[in-house]
Structure 1
Amino acid sequence: MIVRQLQDARQTSRRIKSPDGNWESTRMLLKEDNMGYSFHITTIFAGADFRMHYQNHLESVYCISGEGEIESLEDGKIYPITPGTLYNLDQHDRHILRAFKELELACVFNPPLIGNEVHNKDGAYELHADTVTE
């Protein structure tokens, strides 16, 4: 059994801050935990507006608090994000995430992250050589 407290994890190397200052993420579960996915609590700071394209990962995101929107770059549709919203990037969707008010999100990635990833120039996390997609 794995039990972790968010406030404790935030005091370790599991807390990652983006180089651009748009977000920070505490990685509660990682590849080393052998669950087959990673689980993160991520804060997107108010005013953030950035493109992402998870080419190597699928992601599910649940909004705990805040207000924003996600825009699909595939079809131009815009979806509001408010507490209780779940969105799933099940097609490696290219998208823009905007935070009008600070967003606190619970995120699941498959395959799992190893922990130190930040977005590359394409808005993706790199896939590590030892990671097998499911």
Structure 2
Amino acid sequence: MIVRSLEDLKAQGRYREKPGAWASSRYLLRDDGVGFTLTQTMVAAGTIQMMEYKNHVEANLIIEGEGIVTDCATGETHALAPGVMYTLDKHDRHELKAVTDLRIVCVFTPALVGEETHDEDGSYPVL
């Protein structure tokens, strides 16, 4: 059984942040051997991020806050609020706008190593 607190993640180097923009708490990573990554991501109000996970599928469940996700291929927008889930099942290029502070639970497959950072396309490499 794996049990971790936010304090554990910080002590283990599983917490990353860009002050004033986002924070990522990485609860499960590849070395945990479960086949996926589980994170809690905090996104600051007023920020806009352009992302495209070319190498991963990501599912997101909004826990707190409001935002807008835009499919860059179609221009279609979706309001985000607690209880709304969106999945980037086709490696969709998307824009995430945080209207208020957002708290999101995210699942990635394949699992992340934990050292990944977004490249110029807003994608994570496979490490």
TM-score normalised over the length of structure 2: 0.95
Inter-CA distance 31–54: structure 2 relative to 1 (3 Å threshold): same
Per-residue displacement from partner, 1:30-59 (whole Å, max 9, x unpaired)? Answer: 000000000000001111112100000000
Superposition deviation, residue 24 in structure 1 = 1.1
Q: What residue in structure 2 maps to residue 36 of structure 1? A: 35
For residue 8 of structure 1, what is the aligned residue in structure 2?
8
Deviation at 1:6, TM superposition (A): 2.7
- Partner in structure 1 of residue 78 of structure 2: 79
Aligned residues: percent identity? 40
CA RMSD after TM alignment: 1.3
Unaligned runs of 5+ in 1: 129-134
**Residue 21 (structure 1) shift:** 4.7
Runs of 4+ in 1 over 2 A off after TM superposition: none
Q: Give matches, 1:51-130, under 5 Å.
A: 51-128=50-127
Q: What is the SS of the residue equivalent to 1:9?
A: helix
Aligned length, in residue pairs: 127
What code does the residue aligned with 2:85 have?
Answer: L
Distance 1:12 1:112 in 2: 17
> Any unmatched runs of 5+ in structure 2?
none
* Normalised TM-score (structure 1): 0.90
